[in-house]
Structure 1
Amino acid sequence: MKFSDGNWHVPEYLDLLNPVEVYQARTEGNSIVITAPTWPLAGRGNQINARLLTIRLFSPMEGVIGVRSEHFRGGLDKGPHFELYPDEAFTPEISIGDDYATLTSGNITVRVAMKDRWKLEFLRDGKVISGSDFKAGGHATDKSNGKQTHMFERLNLGVGTKVYGLGERFTDFVKNGQPVEMWNRDGGANTEQAYKNIPFFLTNRGWGVFVNDPGRVEFEIGSEKVSKAQFSVPGEALEYYFIDGPEPKGVLDRYTALTGRPALPARWSFGLWLTTSFTTQYDEATVTSFLDGMAERDIPLHVFHFDCFWMRGLHWCDFEWDPETFPDPEAMLARYKDRGLKICVWINPYIAQESKLFEEGKEHGYLIKRQDGSVWQWDMWQPGQAVVDFTNPDACDWYAGYLKDLVAQGVDCFKTDFGERIPVDVAYHDGTDPETMHNYYTFLYNKVVYEALQESKGKDEAVLFARSATTGGQQFPVHWGGDCYSDYDSMAETLRGGLSLGLSGFGFWSHDIGGFEATASADVYKRWCAFGLLSSHSRLHGSKSYRVPWLYDDEAVDVLRQFTKLKMKLMPTLYSAAVEASKTGLPMMRPMLLEFPEDRACDPLDRQYMLGDKLLVAPVLDASGDVEFYLPKGRWTHILSGEEVEGGCWRNENHGFMSLPFYVRPNSLIAWGAVDDKPDYDYADGTLFALYALEDGKTASATIFADKGEKAQEISVARSGKTLSVSVSDSARPWRLRLQNVPKATADGLSISETAEGIVLEGSGNAEITL
């Protein structure tokens, strides 16, 4: 929403109230409470008919400052509210002086001018990095819309500040110049609409903002006022958190500490997923032919997904296998699980009138109701469709019970589709405000499914494949990018969405390899296979056609096999990045600015990414095989060819289908696993540590994690001149170290051999190597 008409005027339909000064500042517990009138209160006469804003400054944890601005405080708070995890033991420093009222949290301070006209500033180590100026924020009444009220704030961006995040957005990666509305929609992966709206952004300057409101938050990022990040909410109160890094990584760390860390997915989920696709014809014979075809072609497959029509059409969701197509699902699933496969099935929170669950839900009050008490229904998606009311605890248990029955049959995980088209002309069981619940619904939906899996399969085995989300949804991975087209443009759009979601606190993300809508040409499919297998999670899925590679061409089989096996061998390194994501909120697929915040050339990059902290991926997005990408400074090594190139520049390369720009960062130690046919194996058994471009005075290290994120092995290599010093955490465990692009090496007590890829040294305990 816009609150100005150019630089000087206010729209005629708006009445604005802006804080103009501090009338009073006082401490309340660990907060500062400021009374801010909307005109000066110099004399008693000015106090008559005065209008006030009450502004509370507080800190939920170190490095995070909360600001809550209120006009009228007597409204009903119907909820819902985001689940937050503040540090109850933390105490900020508070000072109210003649010139400023200040609250300090870590190295970040908020201060409000006590004498001059209204000014709120955020300082890092004493230097102003953002703030809200005179008449920048306040309260608005929309006279054209039934006197609907809004609270708004504008924060200064500063020269060169770029804004990112705000959910999985397929528009430009840098959000400057964009109006962004927080309203979950089923709009596909090529519009300004989003399945996952997250009211949080971060900047390349190492600070971010989280608006603590699940409802319709509206952002104007350098769009209405081009030097400001503006945000507004309907109603009489606005609460936001200013989060300091001071680097972008630190912002994500603190944001996910506050809103919830991404859970660590089970290791089997990192393998290749194959689905039936959406509206294709399939039965057990069809599915088995896919599985046999993959096995015959030596393509490792670890998860098979049954999409919508595992249930009867018009009955979604009744959680019953179509008896004509799948007459004995338990026996079928047992046969598939004997192959070592995990099973996923499609679900959603909608109940068609033909479903047996409809009458159950209607009778017991488990479905969302209209204001008159009748069940809310429409004919979109399924005839007579109703929606489960997850604010009713009994409805949650009822819905989860059907899922647990499926787990007992042999299902391992669920694709939680939909959850965006949630009505607002309704009444919820717990009296929640339906407008605010529209976005928040997906949190309750995915939480119910995730917890049902935890209860029936164990805490560490729960895995979703979710489409919709809001703040906090990162706790229930994995998420995927929704309905994309099957062309290069959509590959690029999809990647932008994933990178934006990663900068919104989500650690794990996937997409439909080959595209969902229509059928990709063979070249697009092959390029997407490389991109998909170098993503956090990897799934082949489509709409009206199958996605098995032999339906494209013979080379597609080779491409899929190579990149699937490559991912399996890299699992020790990738799983380390996954563990880090679960502990810090850093996504596995990282925009370049996260790893290179000092390199301004990385700020806008959205066609390449870091996979973890050591691997750079630039998907090929052109039929010619040409790709343009940027390498930061240092000596980078192409992981497939072994070629070393100097960074600090843009590169133009041409790649065949069996390759793409896939580079190892300088000073890296990459852990290669000994297994290439599955993702869940002993990563420390037979690991080969490859050392890439270690500079004098630098140290490279790698940590191997076992199942559930437990440390199994740590190794580091330090270079001093021509000497490499190897240090290990377990002196009894043997290790293998490969030196890339090193002509010779000697070492006492180590076995040394030369391979096509480089010199390999084997030993145990600490050691020294001479180059």
Structure 2
Amino acid sequence: MQKILIILLLLLCSQAKAQPIQWKEQYPGVWKGTFGQPEKYTLLSAADSKPRAATLEQLQSTDFPFPKMEVHAELIDGKTYVRMPLTKNEQIYGLGLNFQTVHQRGKILNLHVDHYGGKDNGRTHAPVPFYVSSKGYGVLVNSAQYLTYYVGTGVRKDAKEPAEPKDRNTDKSWNSRPYSDAVEIYIPAAGVEIYVFAGINPLDAIKRYNLFCGGGTLPPRWGLGFTQRVQKLYTAQEVLNEAAQFEEHGFPLDFIGLEPGWQSRAYPCTFEWDKGRFPDPAALIKKLATKGIRLNLWTNPYISPEAGISKAIEPYTGSHTVWNGTVPDLNHPEAKKILAKQFMDAQLNIGVSGYKMDEVDGYDYYLWPDMAKFPSGISGIQMRQTYGVLAQKLTDSLYRNQNKRTYGLVRASNAGANNLPYVIYNDYYSHQDFITALVNSGFCGVLWTPEVRGSKTGQEWLRRFQSVVFSPMAMINAWSSGTKPWSFPEVADQVKYYAQLRMELMPYLYSEFAKYHFDGTPPFRAMVLEEGFQGQAKAVAGNQDLETNPYLEAVNREVKDQYMCGEYILVAPLFAGESSRKVLLPKGNWYDFYTGKYVGNGEEIVANPDMDRIPVYVKDGGIIPMMGSRLHTPLPNEKVDLTIRHYGEKEGNYQLYDDDGVSFDYEKGSYVWRRVLVKKDEKGSLSGEMSKPQPGKPNTFGRVQFEFMTK
């Protein structure tokens, strides 16, 4: 009898370990899978983002992207193991903010929030555990633990599509990494939530993921202008002098970033103004405001013993310190309350517009260890994976309470933070890798800026400046060297041209961010997400193709140095030392942004622009709404005249977004989409029109004229 009971218990345990994932459709094309006992604290619960349910409900229904029985989950030593199917010719994108690779098949990634260290191994500023397949679906593992992904690397004996054994001595096609038909995920928890997003193509799957996480952020208009970060020990007068220099040189400027010296103590921080350098910060902010300039403050969350709030917040801090400063538990209501009051009293109430949240990512040797404890009961690992998100949430909530939008910088983020108004940056330096990160950001619901850093030559300075114009934040971050836009006289005019171009493009960029918020379309995204793009399918190994060797897909040529900026613009940056480059065009006619001339259709071209240009192209029928060049973004009720460019020979249409540009009133319906149409008459001549303003809706547009670029 005893033996029978033991056998029954063993069978029950075995069945518990092998239980299937329970799937439930949440919205059209969005399924939630539950296995075992998922942890209560997850990435999505930390971000506390609310799905854009009304939009999701209207999306086209799609089938589950593969047989549910092919998704395997089991417990191994109290930890969860998940296996997702992969097919031949299927590529995987995403899995965090990677800096050097776009294709992730064939990689092993340990997803871990950290300062990027120069290698795509999963340790990065935003290790978002979401991937999208070239087959048009996405998968999110909703866990705040460190996760290990084997992306088509492990080969099981019972594989559905096993690789053919080959002899290395005689077969030139032998590969040390055999073909694998699965994405295998190791989650150090006794259960997990998995979300599958099925779309009609990869971009559609990403849109559903973004909408499920609340939609993308919609920054204030001023956030899309230029920002200059000043040297760390600047005084109030030096800040005013810097603003005056920008105006004298005719360079746009919308917000200035102060580095650590604004605080009385930094590393760790007091969150209090240094009375010597900034005797009257409120007066400084008012003076800058009269010039149309806002103020952004650097900080990190680690509290100096000399801070006024140090004693009060100490009971709500972690077991370990950072730079001998306590670590506030940003999941504890009392810690958040104390910090919020300090931010409000000392900064927001006098007009500070936003923050740069530094050092919420890594390194291991200065952040708390994994065994650290926090009063809320959240583990050190879970806190590490979500601390950047928690910092974003806290500050964003303060601005929301004032009905003011903010736009800032952060060094760490994760899944679910898609709608938080922060752009990721770091202390890395490679311009090329910055562009690859911008390409990858669109896969995982985060924003990244390829900031303008200190440069050795005028050409490098110009090349960095040109690419930052086509990015989420036009940031000049050369505070350490003190380099100014005009510091290299030989390229000062070219730099000014691109600075002015950024301002002219604001109606287009603002509309593209509105699409990010309302329908989930990333404003900056990889070429593989563009319809008609075939560049990713080119193999590199002799005459082999993907049918004879499916694993080639993982080593194909990656297109990681060009990207889409909004609906119509293709950007192909140049780097220091380059005067020409190859550009892969999607199918369809494409035209030079600057001249309107035809450049190609679905082919690889060689771009040889003048020194003062980088290759930028517009698809046939493309409509680009632009405003006049100016030093600061328009005021909330200010009307601006529009020049609407049209490229190519096709008729075109565009949805131009408008709201007050600063508040959250758009969430209550105070916004409008203005339809722009370009049509052909019977003789083939083009003409344009824009829909009229709607009564009771925002209207910040004045006179409208059309410019047909292709003659």
User: Which TM-score tier does this pair reach, normalised by the shorter chain?
Assistant: 0.7 to 0.9
Corresponding residue to 2:675 among 689, 714, 717:
714
Match of 1:67 in 2: 33
Tell me by how many angstroms 1:201 deviates: 0.7
Task: After superposing the two structures, state which structure 1 stretch, 596-605 or 616-625, moved more.
Answer: 596-605
| Among candidates 197, 201, 213, match of residue 131 of structure 2 | 201
- SS of the counterpart of 1:304? strand
Match of 1:289 among 241, 244, 247: 241
Structure 2: which amino acid aligns with 1:448?
A: L
Question: Which residue matches 1:254?
Answer: 208
Report how far residue 293 of structure 1 moved.
2.0
Question: Contact conserved, 1:177 with 1:220, CA < 8 A, in 2?
Answer: yes
Deviation of the 1:601 alpha carbon? 3.9
Cα shift readout 1:527-572 (whole Å, capped 9, x = no counterpart):
0000011212111113631131233x11342232111111111111
Q: Which residue does 2:476 correspond to in 1?
A: 540
Asked whether the 8 Å contact 1:478–1:510 carries over to 2, the reply is no
Structure 2 contact 79–188 (Cα < 8 Å) conserved: yes
In 1, Cα distance between equivalents of 2:13 and 2:477: 63
Contact 1:274 1:541 in 2 (8 A): yes
Tell me the residue number matched to 2:453: 514
Shift of 1:395: 1.1
| AA partner of residue 585 (structure 1) | G
Q: Distance in 1 between matches of 2:277 and 2:9?
A: 81
Asked whether the 8 Å contact 1:260–1:474 carries over to 2, the reply is yes
TM-score where L is the length of structure 1? 0.76
Pair 668,522 (structure 1): closer, same or farther in 2 beyond 3 Å: same
1:599-618 correspondence runs (5 A)? 599=534, 601=536, 604-618=558-572
Q: Distance in 2 between matches of 1:89 and 1:647?
A: 38
What secondary structure, in the 3-state scheme, does the structure 1 residue paired with 2:641 have?
coil
Residue 78 to residue 650, structure 1, CA distance change in 2 (3 Å): closer
Q: Looking at CA atoms only, which structure, 1 or 2, has the larger radius of gyration?
A: 1
**1:330 Cα offset (Å):** 2.2
Q: Which residue of 2 aligns with 1:464?
A: 408
Which amino acid counterpart does residue 484 of structure 2 have in structure 1? V
Conserved 8 A contact 1:247-1:597: no
Match of 2:641 in 1: 686
Give the aligned partner of residue 25 of structure 1: none
The CA distance in 1 between the partners of 2:56 and 2:39, in whole Å, is 30
Query: In the alignment, does 2:485 pair up with 1:549?
Result: yes
Matched, 1:701 2:646: no
Amino acid at match of 1:156: P
Aligned to 1:390: 330
Pairing 1:673–2:603 present: no
Query: Contact between 2:230 and 2:479, CA under 8 Å: does it hold in 1?
Result: no
SS, match of residue 392 in structure 2: helix
| Inter-partner Cα distance in structure 2 for 1:331 and 1:673 | 32
1:586 to 521, 524, 533: 521
Do residues 474 (structure 1) and 414 (structure 2) align? no
Which of 136, 139, 156 lines up with 2:75 in the alignment?
A: 139
Does 1:156 find its partner at 2:85? Answer: yes
The Cα of 1:260 is off from its aligned counterpart by 2.0
Once the two structures are TM-superposed, the CA of residue 502 in structure 1 deviates from its matched residue by 1.6
Give the superposition deviation at 1:692.
0.9
Give the unaligned 5+ runs of structure 1.
Answer: 1-42, 93-104, 113-119, 122-130, 142-148, 371-375, 743-771
1:702 Cα deviation after fit = 4.5
Determine if contact 1:527/1:619 at 8 Å carries over to the other structure.
yes
> Is it true that 1:377 corresponds to 2:346 in the alignment?
no
TM-superposed CA distance for 1:271, in Å, is 0.4
- Which among 434, 451, 460 is matched to residue 494 of structure 1? 434
**1:757 — aligned with what?**
none
Query: 1:584: how far off?
Result: 2.1
Q: Larger % of helix: which? A: 2
Instruction: Using the TM superposition, give the Cα deviation of residue 616 of structure 1 relative to its aligned residue in structure 2, in angstroms.
Output: 0.9
What residue is the counterpart of 2:217 in the other structure? 263
Checking the alignment, whether the CA contact within 8 Å between 2:247 and 2:631 is kept in structure 1 is: no
For residues 354 and 333 of structure 2, what CA distance do their matches in structure 1 show? Answer: 22
Instruction: Kindly indicate whether the alpha-carbon contact (under 8 Å) linking 1:668 and 1:691 is maintained by their aligned counterparts in 2.
Output: yes
Q: What CA deviation, in whole Å up to 9, does each residue of 1:111-133 have, x standing for no partner? A: 87xxxxxxx45xxxxxxxxx43x
How far apart in 1 are the matches of 2:40 and 2:98? 30
Shift in Å, 1:299: 0.6
Alignment of 1:319-398 (within 5 A): 319-362=271-314, 365-368=315-318, 370=319, 376-378=320-322, 382=323, 384-398=324-338
Give the aligned partner of residue 344 of structure 2: 404
Q: Which amino acid in 2 is paired with 1:665?
A: K
| Cα distance change, pair 91–648 in 1 and its aligned pair in 2 (3 A) | closer
Tell me the residue number matched to 1:115.
none
Q: Is the Cα–Cα contact under 8 Å of residues 621 and 627 in structure 1 kept in the other structure?
A: no
Between the two proteins, the alignment pairs up a number of residues equal to: 632
Contact persistence 1:311–1:322 (CA under 8 A): yes
Name the structure 1 match of 2:376.
Answer: 430
C-alpha distance 285-209 of structure 1, shift in aligned 2 (>3 A)? same
Partner of 1:526: 462
Residues 189, 493 of structure 1: 8 Å contact kept:
no
In structure 2, relative to structure 1, the CA distance for the partners of 1:91 and 1:556 (3 Å cut) is: closer
2:707 match: 738
| TM-superposed deviation, 1:312 | 3.2
Worse-superposed segment, 427-436 or 623-632 = 427-436
Contact 2:515 / 2:521 at 8 angstroms: preserved in 1? yes
The secondary structure found in structure 1 opposite 2:428 is coil
Equivalent AA in structure 1 for residue 133 of structure 2 = T
Instruction: Report the 3-state secondary structure (helix = DSSP H, G, I; strand = E; otherwise coil) of the residue aligned with 1:319.
Output: coil
Aligned to 2:632, what secondary structure does the other structure show? coil
1:46 Cα deviation after fit: 8.7
**Normalising by structure 2, what TM-score?**
0.82
Shift of 1:413: 0.9
Runs of 5+ consecutive residues of structure 2 not aligned to the other structure: 1-6, 156-179, 362-366, 538-556, 695-701
Give the conservation status (yes or no) of the 8 Å contact 1:694–1:700.
no
- Is the Cα contact below 8 Å between 2:640 and 2:703 reproduced in 1? no
The corresponding residue for 2:101 is 172
Bigger proportion of residues as strand: 1
Distance 1:461 1:241 in 2: 30
**CA distance in structure 2 between the aligned counterparts of 1:410 and 1:501, rounded to whole angstroms:** 31
Distance 1:87 1:525, change over 3 A: closer
Q: In the aligned structure 1, how far is the partner of 2:56 from the partner of 2:633?
A: 44
- Which of 592-601 and 652-661 deviates more? 592-601
Q: Report the AA paired with residue 505 of structure 1.
A: G
Q: Distance in 1 between matches of 2:629 and 2:638?
A: 8
For the 8 Å contact 1:314–1:354, the answer to whether it is kept is no
Question: Residues 271 and 568 of structure 1 are in contact (CA less than 8 Å); yes or no, is this contact kept in structure 2?
Answer: yes
Instruction: Give 1:452's aligned residue.
Output: 398
- Contact 2:62/2:199 (<8 A) preserved: no
Structure scoring higher RCO (CA < 8 A, sep ≥ 6) equals 2
2-structure distance, mates of 1:159, 1:484:
36
Specify the alignment match of 2:162 in structure 1. none
Checking the alignment, whether the CA contact within 8 Å between 2:436 and 2:560 is kept in structure 1 is: yes
| CA distance in structure 2 between the partners assigned to 1:399 and 1:178 by the alignment | 41
* SS of residue paired to 2:334: helix
**What does 1:20-31 correspond to in 2, within 5 Å?**
none
Residue 148 of structure 2 contacts residue 187 of structure 2 at CA under 8 Å; is this kept in 1?
yes
Would the aligned equivalents of 2:434 and 2:450 in 1 still touch at CA under 8 Å? yes
In structure 2, the partner of 1:659 is 613
Deviation at 1:333, TM superposition (A): 2.4
The correspondence for 1:572, drawn from 495, 507, 517, is 507
| Residue among 307, 315, 338 paired with 2:259 | 307
Name the CA shift for 1:701/1:454 in 2 (closer, same or farther; >3 Å): closer
State whether structure 2 residue 19 is matched by structure 1 residue 54.
yes
Give the deviation of 1:261 after TM superposition. 1.6
